[in-house]
């Protein structure tokens, strides 16, 4: 089971209900292995993984990193190049838009780090949403002189209309050399072209010896579409966007109603 978190199994307040936890545990008791496939950082997803009790290769940062949990061993990392990060920082400064960067762990140095250039309502919203405390700093200085090999992802936090201005600029400048995806309404993420939930899931499937026919994917946003494409069967909650609902094999109830949990109860005959 390839499982998205936000908007899929997490309620609108980002909690994981007791019912959903119980259903996922029952699935695992039946032999179903759960692969988290999330845009979240490892730290931002860890409380939910721990509550579920899932172990093994998990997909983070929209596929930019696959990590074996709970050992926290990085199995693959696809980094966004510094040129792109530099361009995004300049654009964010020019437009007055919040931009943040996740840097990978460095041997002998700090672990994965979220850096922002200034605190504000967008940073506070992300902090509340994920529980991750960012580091304040000058992003241009952080990437200057080869200090960073690349980043796991960059993120603009802006209204959809502003995202509509940003995306054409990025696509015009980089074309297929980047991958962009909206993960939540205010989040526009920028990653390396080889990163997606689809490629991340394929890596995790290979680690587990799985083929597409044995994988059920559940997600709600456009960043889940690559995951749907490599799974044998896909389900979207009713709150998903129209494009995602149309791409899914079936549609379950909304995340506000624990719709995925109810769907899984029936799908796996957990009440029998």
Q: What is the per-residue pLDDT across 29-69, written as a single tens digit (0 to 9) for each? A: 999 999 999 999 999 999 999 999 999 999 999 999 999 99
Per-residue pLDDT at 149:
83
Question: pLDDT (tens digit, 9 = 90+) per residue, 156-179?
Answer: 999 999 999 999 999 999 999 999
**Over the chain, what is the mean pLDDT?**
95
Give Cα 12 to chain centroid, integer Å.
Answer: 16
d(C-alpha 218, C-alpha 233), whole Å: 9
Q: Which domains does the chain have, with CATH numbers?
A: 2-77+196-267 (3.40.50.1000), 82-191 (3.30.1240.10)
As a whole-number percent, the residues of the chain with pLDDT over 90 amount to: 92
Residues 6+ apart with CB under 8 A from 30: 268, 270
Model confidence at 109, in pLDDT bands (50, 70, 90)? low
- Is residue 106 pLDDT above 80, yes or no? no
| Sign of the alpha-carbon torsion through 122, 128, 132, 135 | positive
Residues 6+ apart with CB under 8 A from 231: 2, 201, 212, 215, 216, 217
- Is residue 111 pLDDT above 90, yes or no? no
d(C-alpha 49, C-alpha 67), whole Å: 12
């Amino acid at each position: 089971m390839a499982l998205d978190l936000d908007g899929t199994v997490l309620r609108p307040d980002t909690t994981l209900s007791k019912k959903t936890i119980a259903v996922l545990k029952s699935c695992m008791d039946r032999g179903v292995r759960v692969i988290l496939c999330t845009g979240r950082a490892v730290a931002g997803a860890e409380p939910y993984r721990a509550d579920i009790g899932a172990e093994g290769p998990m997909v983070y940062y929209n596929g930019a990193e696959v990590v074996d949990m709970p050992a926290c061993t990085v199995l693959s990392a696809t980094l966004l190049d510094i040129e792109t990060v530099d361009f995004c920082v300049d654009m964010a400064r020019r437009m007055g838009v919040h931009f943040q960067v996740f840097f990978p762990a460095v041997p002998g140095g700090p672990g994965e780090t979220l850096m922002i250039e200034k605190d504000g309502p967008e940073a506070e919203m992300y902090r509340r949403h994920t529980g991750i405390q960012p580091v304040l700093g000058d992003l241009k200085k952080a990437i200057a002189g080869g200090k960073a090999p690349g980043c796991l992802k960059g993120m603009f936090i802006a209204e959809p209309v502003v995202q509509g201005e940003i995306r054409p600029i990025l696509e015009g400048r980089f074309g297929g050399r980047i991958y962009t995806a909206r993960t939540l309404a205010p989040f526009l993420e920028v990653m390396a072209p080889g990163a997606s939930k689809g490629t991340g899931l394929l890596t995790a499937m290979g680690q587990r010896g799985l083929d597409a026919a044995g994988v059920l994917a559940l997600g709600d946003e456009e960043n889940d579409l690559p995951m749907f494409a490599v799974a044998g069967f896909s389900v979207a909650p009713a709150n998903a966007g129209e494009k995602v609902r149309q791409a899914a094999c079936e549609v379950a109830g909304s995340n506000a109603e624990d719709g995925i949990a109810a769907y899984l109860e029936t799908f796996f005959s957990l009440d029998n």
